Structure 1
Amino acid sequence: MRSQVIFEEIQLLSIKERKAIKVNLNYNKLVIYGKNDTGKSTIIKSIFWILGLNPSSLFSDDKLDKNLIGILKIKYLDNYYFFYRNKDSRKLFTFEKQLLIETERNSEWQEYLANFFNYPLSLIQFNNLEEYYIGLQGLLTPYYIDQDTSWNAKWIGPFENLNRYIDFYQQVIEHFTGIISNETIILKQKQKKLITSKKENELKIKIYNQSRNELLGNYHDTDHLPEINEDLFIKNIEESSDILKKSKKLQDELKNEINNIISDRYKVRNLLKSAVNLHNESIADLTVLNEIPNDSTIECPTCGTHHKKTIKANIALEFDIQGIEENIFFLNQQLEELKKQEKSAINKLNLINNEIEKFDIQLDSNVSEEYTFNDILYSYSSKNIRTNIDLNINNIYDDINKINATILDYQNRIEIIDSTDSVKERKRKIKKAY
């Protein structure tokens, strides 16, 4: 990255202070110098922050506003790019302002930049043993020394949460210095993936064993059960199972049918109640109307309009009453039909329930003086469960053995490429040089 990336420009906007700054960086030789408290560290840390990292002492003593918005312009492989950062929101644009990635998830950001800058170093996290690309956290770690923590203090790392990774510093420094070759790094990464896969398989075996204990914990030795014709036994089980499935399905259908009938009956009853009330009101209105002499003026109780009472009004009201009575008769017929349907469905449901109960009784019936049909069914099922679980466990053990063989093969190749002695010699030369 040092030889391929040129920092061109940085822009910072403080929402809190309502101030902005733009710094043009000299791409020929990038050295930031100045007196104390002139903002050198702020510029340097802001560059790392906009790149998506979190310098460990970035906001110490509230020297840097946490509500900064930053843009960093770089040149990489003869192309220009813009990095954007606002709190946890990270974005990367091309020079033509095409958005390449936008995310608030650090792992997603680091994985993208690991591929973007061709830095495929990945490490394992302590908490979940999952593998993650390090990205710029690993790529920039060797370049960043934070003088705020003192030059003589033990180096705890420049960015936050690096201690979550197994052997972070050793692997990054070995990769950076060339103590370990890239080929060895890749082989070690493959080893780590295989080790993780091996642990997952070992967990599967543990789960299978727990399942077997839970399913067959009360299983007693039934090898001495009466001999049975397995083919005939399986056929009977399949036929019985088919009958039971159909019975259960019909049972559910009848339950739904009864619920629908009850719902319809409830609606019809409400309609019938309303029709009877309307009929009574209409009879009462007709009685009052008959007592009023013809050609009398009547005031409508609803709208207040005055109407003349005629024989025609009596006929119209009587006609309405007749229609209501026909509707009541129809609703009563409909109600009776729903009662018949409900009774028929309940009878069918009782027959199905009886068949299911007979089937349950059959399972508890004796097939010999000592054992019931249920005993043999349980015995047969338990043997199948054991056989299937053991088969799966054996297959997993085969996978683990293959993984172990591949891990050993990778280790042999690593020893050929970077033997223990050659790595020690490189470390010795580096220590001597510094």
Structure 2
Amino acid sequence: MTQQVTFKRLWLVSERDGAARKIFLDSQKILLLGTNGTGKSRVSKNIFWALGCEPPKRNAGAWDPDAIAALEFSLGQRTLVAIRAGRAQGLFDSEGRMLFGSSNHAAWSNFASQLFGYRLKLQRPSGTAYHLAGLDYLTVPFYIDQDGSWGASWATFTNLGQFSSWKNPVFASFTGQRPNAYLEAKQRRNEAIGRLTTSKKELDAQRKAFRRVRETLPKNLPSLDLTTFRAELVKLASSAKRVQQQQVRVRAALLALVNGRQQVQAELKLAVGSHQELEKDLTYLSNIPDSTDIECPTCGTFHRTSFHARLALITDADSMAALVAELNKQLDGARKREVEIRQELREIEKEVLNFEKLSQEKKARLKLDEVLASHSKRTLDRAFREVSQTLTHKVDELQEEVEELNEIVKTFEDKTRLKEVSYYYAAKLRHLSEALKIPEDERVDETKLGSRPASGGSSGPRATLAVHLALLATNVQYGDSVRLPFVVDTPQQSGQDENNLRRMIDVMQQHASENHQLLLAIERLPAQTDISSFHVIPFPKGERLLRKTEFGDAVGALRDMLRILKAKVLEVDSEAQTTESPSAETDSSREH
């Protein structure tokens, strides 16, 4: 079942300006009404920025680039809050529990694609691998941005160029020509084909391997004293186990020692720095007469110089010098012990090499592999039957799975269905173009999904609106992607006259608000425009979007989520650094 998204509340917070704003969006139709420069576009841009998208010119003008945006929205029956602060992106449930937190945009893109059920994968311009497209591409038909969406090309977000040739697959997926069900079935089929190919290769490799082994076994093989051979194997295994345990113990000791040495080095660095600071303070005080008031640059408190103060500083400096000497002594001891343990580890590695040499020694003028070969033929055929039987059964199951998924994929590749979707889109676009009074010679090409108007003048914006509405209608009829609100900022483009502007508003109400929440930003209303069904949010001229009076409440509402998000980002970054550290230490050990 297609899920519906409804925006509920938007918080915008600027710590720099000490101002914030909470805007209620929980109405089916919302009108942001105000002249230029009052903040309407800030609202629409930050709605999608909070979801991880990159609308153009979000930070234009005097806007705080570090401003925080949080969007509360419903997804089906769930209420969620998406919060973004710089690179940090988080998602919380209605109880304030964090569902996602990271400063990695790719991680958020993958998570959000799964959350919204958007399975489309696209290809990078410089690579062959495919990656989940993310919300920037899912939301393109739902958002008309004032700065990026009214022109001749799709530039709703600044990062749409991260994938090559994205338009055809995005609009085919959105309109239902290649819906999520098709993408999921195709992905599952391709994965099954990959597993099938691997299993077939594995089965073929097993056949060839067994055949080669059987052909290479000697014809006349010696007999083997199994009792003696078993005893030697037990002895060899016991010795090898002992050396392996010793190797593990020594490696653990080396790791602990290296960690301890690094800790001492860090403490020594801090102690030396503190000692140097004390020496500088002592030198500074020595040049100032007693009973002189000195203001602390940190807290602003005044302190009076005295002989006792200098004496205390000298004592602290001597104590810190003693600590530096002690830490240097500990560091020298740790380095000496590390050399000894590394030498012990090298000795153990020599023993391991001796075991490898021993395995090649002859017993009664025979190599170990020659002795084992005398018992291979008896078990070779039985082993092949067991292995091949399992692999053959697996191949048959995968083949059946691939055939079933092929049938599902074929239902979406049916030419009749593809034509039906294209015809529906073309008919909707034609009807909308007529409703918006777009001259026939300035209308958009109906035969290609997502075509943009090439004409300028007042017809261009109306043709752009017609394309978006036709895409939304086709999505409702044939698509299976989540339905987001339709956000338009602002239809007053290219000098729309009163009649055309009123016509654009009426058409949006008729064709978008039934299946989508509608959010419209506009500078002025033409005469006789019926907005009785809209929740109007005024943006008075001369007032700033963010208000200092709302700062405290907004910070209080978001404080816990921001604290949890920042802690999670620090944790993830710390884990990433820790992951890199062992490899660096290993390289250092190899150099020694």
Q: TM-score range by the shorter chain?
A: 0.5 to 0.7
Q: Could you tell me how far apart the structure 2 residues matched to 1:393 and 1:242 are?
A: 32
Q: How many angstroms does 1:222 deviate by?
A: 2.9
Superposed CA deviations along residues 318-371 of structure 1, whole A, max 9, x for unmatched, are xxxxxxxxxxxxxxxxxxxxxxxxxxxxxxxxxxx99x969931275399xxx9
Match of 2:11, SS state, is: strand
Q: Secondary structure at the match of 1:361?
A: coil
Q: Distance in 1 between matches of 2:10 and 2:63?
A: 15
Q: Check conservation: 1:120, 1:135, Cα contact below 8 A.
A: no
TM-superposed CA distance for 1:48, in Å, is: 0.9
Per the alignment, residue 282 of structure 1 pairs with none
CA distance in 2 between counterparts of 1:67 and 1:392 reads 59
How many corresponding residue pairs?
321
The 3 A distance-change label for structure 1 pair 41 and 359 is closer
- Report the CA distance shift for 1:172/1:377 in structure 2 as closer, same or farther (over 3 A): same
Q: Distance in 1 between matches of 2:429 and 2:110?
A: 32
Q: Which residue of 2 aligns with 1:198?
A: 193
* CA–CA separation in structure 1 for the residues paired with 2:408 and 2:379: 44
- Counterpart among 168, 171, 174 of residue 173 in structure 1: 171
Q: What does the per-residue CA deviation read over 1:213-244, in whole Å, with 9 as the maximum and x for residues that have no partner?
A: 9x89x979537x42679xxx8xx597666334
Cα distance in structure 2, aligned partners of 1:153 and 1:363 = 86
Quote how far apart the aligned CAs of 1:187 are: 4.0
1:87 corresponds to? 86
Change (3 A) 1:26 1:110: same
Query: What residue identity is the alignment partner of 1:84?
Result: I
Name the SS of the counterpart of 2:13 in structure 1: strand
The answer to whether 1:47 aligns with 2:47 is: yes
In structure 1, list runs of 5 or more residues that go unmatched: 260-352
In structure 1, the residue matched to 2:459 is none
| CA distance in 2: counterparts of 1:49 and 1:363, whole angstroms | 78
Q: In the alignment, which residue of structure 1 is the partner of 2:411?
A: 413
Distance 2:246 2:134 in 1: 64
- Whether the 8 Å contact between 2:203 and 2:392 is mirrored in structure 1 is no
- The corresponding residue for 1:246 is 234
2:32 match: secondary structure: coil
Q: Does 1:120 align with 2:117?
A: yes
Give 1:222's match in structure 2, choosing from 204, 216, 224.
216
User: Which residue of structure 2 lines up, in the alignment, with residue 144 of structure 1?
Assistant: 143
How do 1:22-421 and structure 2 match up within 5 A?
A: 22-25=22-25, 27=27, 29-51=29-51, 53-57=52-56, 59=58, 64-74=63-73, 81-94=80-93, 97-99=95-97, 101-104=99-102, 109=108, 119-126=116-123, 132=132, 136-149=135-148, 151-156=150-155, 158=157, 160=159, 163-164=162-163, 169-178=167-176, 185-202=180-197, 221-222=215-216, 225-226=218-219, 242-252=230-240, 360-362=361-363, 364-365=365-366, 373=371, 397-398=395-396, 400-414=398-412, 419-421=417-419
Q: Are the equivalent residues in 2 in contact too, given 1:363–1:372 (CA < 8 A)?
A: no
**Larger displacement relative to structure 2 (406-415 or 20-29):** 20-29
What one-letter code is carried by the residue in structure 2 that aligns with 1:122? R
Q: Shift of the alpha carbon at 1:47?
A: 0.9
- Equivalent residues of 1:59, 1:65 under 8 A apart: no
Cα distance in 2 for residues equivalent to 1:403 and 1:60: 51
- How far did 1:68 drift? 1.9
Question: Aligned-pair RMSD on alpha carbons?
Answer: 5.4
Instruction: Letter of the 2:423 partner, please give it.
Output: E
Equivalent position SS for 2:69: strand
**CA contact 2:177–2:421 (8 Å) conserved in 1:** yes
Bigger relative contact order (CA 8 A; separation at least 6) = 2
Q: TM-score, normalised by structure 1?
A: 0.53
Q: Which residue of 2 aligns with 1:316?
A: none
Q: CA deviation at 1:46?
A: 0.8
State TM-score, norm by structure 2: 0.41
Of 152-161 and 137-146, more deviation after overlay is shown by: 152-161
Cα 1:405–1:156, aligned 2, differ >3 Å: closer, same or farther?
farther
Q: CA deviation at 1:110?
A: 5.6
Deviations 1:365-397 (A, max 9, x none): 399xxx954765788999899888877775665
Structure 1 or 2, whichever has the larger Rg, is 1
CA distance in 1, matches of 2:241, 2:118: 60
Residues 178-223 of structure 1 show CA distances to partners (whole Å, capped at 9, x for unaligned) of: 556xxx641441221220332355356668889999x89x979537
2:182 & 2:411 partners in 1: Cα distance? 8
> Whole-Å Cα distance in 2 between the matches of residues 382 and 414 of structure 1?
48
Question: What residue number does 1:423 align with?
Answer: 421
Q: Is the 8 A contact 1:58 1:64 kept in 2?
A: no
* Paired residues of 1:91 and 1:102 also in contact (CA < 8 A): yes
- Deviation per CA, 1:61-80: give whole Å up to 9, x if none: 68654422222344666886
Question: CA–CA distance in 1 between the matches of 2:382 and 2:243?
Answer: 35
Structure 2 unaligned runs (5+)? 248-353, 434-592
Q: Secondary structure at the match of 2:216?
A: coil
Shift of 1:122: 0.9
Give the Cα separation in 1 of the matches to 2:371 and 2:207: 23
Instruction: Assess if the C-alpha contact under 8 Å between 1:208 and 1:393 holds in 2.
Output: yes
Q: 1:411 and 1:256 mapped to 2: Cα distance?
A: 53
CA deviation after TM superposition for structure 1 residue 103, in Å: 1.5
Q: What secondary structure does 1:83 align onto? A: strand
Against the structure 1 CA distance between its residues 407 and 26, is the aligned structure 2 distance closer, same or farther, given a 3 Å change threshold?
closer
Counterparts of 2:61 and 2:204, CA distance in 1 = 55
Q: Distance in 1 between matches of 2:78 and 2:7?
A: 12
